[in-house]
Amino acid sequence: MELDRILKEDSFSSNPKRAELLKGLFDLQHSLRELTLRDFKRVNPLQEDLTDWKERGEFLFGKGKNITVYNSATVAGDVKVGENTWIGPYVELDGSGGLEIGDFCSISLGVNITTHDTVKWALSGGKMSYERAPVKIGNYCFIGTQAFIAKGITIGDHVLVGAGAVVTKDLPDFSIAAGVPAKIIGKVILENNTVTLEYF
């Protein structure tokens, strides 16, 4: 067993307390993995099983808002999130320039939303400052896996951003955008509580 081999290494064999902690962590990981597989038919990274994602949403954004935030998501700076929004694994939310996300949004795996950049600082050898500008995402938006949203962007309501898109310009309500850089490729149609995606 891998644990037995690790425990024989000097850093553990010479420190019984450290070895005991590692064994406890291995036991916890295996127990959580088995429970998660049984209850949810999935296996998560350990950090995702340690605390409840809704509890993390309450801790970051307040109680009673039904916000889900995966444990592997990074939330930094001034970030405001509306009710019933889902922030998935490995998302990066940079609020150093101010970030607002509306109600009923889905921020998918690995999305990066940044409100600053260091481009001119780096290119000038530190003579220019970091640049910051707020980002606002409206209500009822879906941001696809590993999309990137640059500083200063405003995204309207009912907007779909495709997976891997690089958003460098504002997107109006009911638009579908995809690509690098992202371009509007369709529109969201909402009639009688039914959504239809129409592509150009």
- Of 69, 105, 116, 160, which is the active-site residue? 116
Q: Are 159 and 174 in contact (CB under 8 A)?
A: yes
116 tagged catalytic: yes
Q: Are 147 and 111 in contact (CB under 8 A)?
A: yes
CA atoms of 152 and 136, how far apart (whole Å): 8
- Strands 194-199, 183-191: pairing kind: antiparallel
Q: Are 115 and 77 in contact (CB under 8 A)?
A: yes
Helix/strand/coil percentages in the chain, nearest 5: 25, 30, 40
Q: Are 158 and 176 in contact (CB under 8 A)?
A: no
Q: Which residue numbers are catalytic?
A: 116
